[in-house]
Amino acid sequence: MKSTSDVGVIIVNWNGKHFLEKCLPSIKTQTYGCSVVVVDNGSTDGSQRYVEEQFPEFTLIKLPSNAGFARPNNLGIIELLKNPEIQFIFTLNNDTELKPTCVEELVRCARSHQNVGAVQGKMLNAFERNQIDGSGMQIFWDMSALNRGHGETDHGQYDREEEIFGAVASASLYTRQALERVRDAQGQFFDEDYFAYHEDVDMAMRLRLLGFSSYYTPRSMLYHVHSGTGKQRSPFKSFYVHRNRYYCMIKDLPLLLLIPTLLLIPIRYMVLGTSLLRKKGAAADVSKKASGGGLIGIVLRAWKDVIRNFPRMWKKRGDIQEQRVVPLREVVSWFRHYRADIATIFYG
């Protein structure tokens, strides 16, 4: 790995030493040099000692407790942007393993297009390595999002470099220019009110509203465990995804889109209810694992937060919509062109 670079990498970690043992060495073998910041969320599994002893050249930021995803990444971004040479920030989950040219190809793609906000590579399943984990973010009208191609066998169907709705922050290269523009009045890049999950959907939408585009390049490749820390279909993850999707709706949708989108709310809950009655689908799986009222308890807690924080979200909305530079018709076109599959959204 080259000693100097214009790329800064941020890895947020919480009791993931077993993940870091693959992730961090794969960064050192990159063909493109990186400055690395590890932000540790108060781990008790020896993660901090491992980083200090094995990777003393990396910057380690120690937090006293689990601060989620948004705040640690913001701290990492602030630290890296102190260096004027840094032009790209690569947010990277700890449960990843990079192929040697991963970063180099992300940078090449970013420099090959105009008004780039973010770039994502091809993510493959860490266990089934011919299976796609994700190839870009797809979006639905109610701000639900999917990883394009997730679970599909890789037959080369996503081997074209192209524009996507947004990049998934588990492995997303953001340009300095875009981050400096998207930074809000509180000095935040990712919205820290989200804590974890869906903050990258919010980021993708805000970048687009500011006129930035996101791209996917299959030439940049990595392996991803997927929900290695948060666990797939867990009550913890389901609560934050459910709540934060409403935060995205309130903040990011132009008013003429927000009003009709509200009609999808009862439809979605009818589908969730059907899933529970049939004891099939993602909703039923989550409800089995959840305590304190099951899925209904998760929904009620999410709505409690949404109502309580509505004034703050509405204020943020004012700032976001005031800075919007794209017309409504273009916003509508995103939801058509990069549309997520409704069956997968509703039934999982």
Q: Which residues contact residue 249 at a Cβ distance below 8 angstroms, ignoring those fewer than 6 apart?
A: 142, 143, 258, 261
Q: How confident is the model at residue 268 (pLDDT cuts 50, 70, 90)?
A: confident
* H/E run at residue 179: helix 176-182
pLDDT band at 262 (very low <50, low <70, confident <90, very high): very high
Is it the case that residue 174 has pLDDT exceeding 70? yes
Token output for 343: 């069956």
Distance CA 12, CA 37 (A): 9
Q: What is the pLDDT of residue 1?
A: 46
177 within 8 A of 86, measured Cβ to Cβ: no
* Coil, helix or strand at residue 219: strand
Write down the pLDDT at residue 253: 98
Q: Which pLDDT value is given to residue 18?
A: 98
- Domains of the chain listed by start with CATH number: 7-224 (3.90.550.60), 235-347 (no CATH)
Q: How far apart (Å, rounded) are the C-alpha atoms in residues 63 and 15?
A: 12
| Distance separating alpha carbons of residues 265 and 140, to the nearest angstrom | 13
Predicted TM-score (pTM) of the model is 0.94
- Give the chain's mean pLDDT: 93
Give the C-alpha separation, 109 to 187, whole Å.
28
**pLDDT (tens digit per residue) in 58-79:** 999 999 999 999 999 999 999 9
Query: Rounded to whole angstroms, how far apart are CA atoms 11 and 91?
Result: 6
Predicted confidence at residue 3, as pLDDT, reads: 47
CB within 8 A of 112, min separation 6: which ones?
Answer: none
CB atoms within 10 A of CB 287: 21
Q: Which helix (H) or strand (E) holds 59?
A: strand 59-63
**Cα separation, 228 vs 336, whole angstroms:** 31
What are 293's strand-pairing partners? none
DSSP letter for each residue of 70-132:
HHHHHHHHHHHHTSTT--EEEEEETTEEE-TTHHHHHHHHHHTSSSEEEEEEEEEESSSTTBE
In which element (H, E) is residue 139 found? strand 137-139
Helix/strand/coil for 68 = coil
Burial class, 186, CB count within 10 angstroms (exposed 0-12 / middle 13-18 / buried 19+): exposed
- Give the dihedral of Cα atoms 335, 340, 345, 348; nearest 10 deg: -170
Name the residue with tokens 């200090």. 52
What does 241-284 look like in DSSP terms, one character per residue?
HHHHHHHHHHHHS-HHHHHHHTTHHHHHHHHHHHHHHHT-SHHH
Given a cut of 90, is residue 290 above it in pLDDT? no
Q: Classify each residue of 1-24 as buried b or exposed e, where b means 16 or more C-beta atoms within 10 Å of its C-beta.
A: eeeebbbbbbbbbbbbbebbebbb
pLDDT digits (tens, 9 = 90+) for 209-222: 999 999 999 999 99
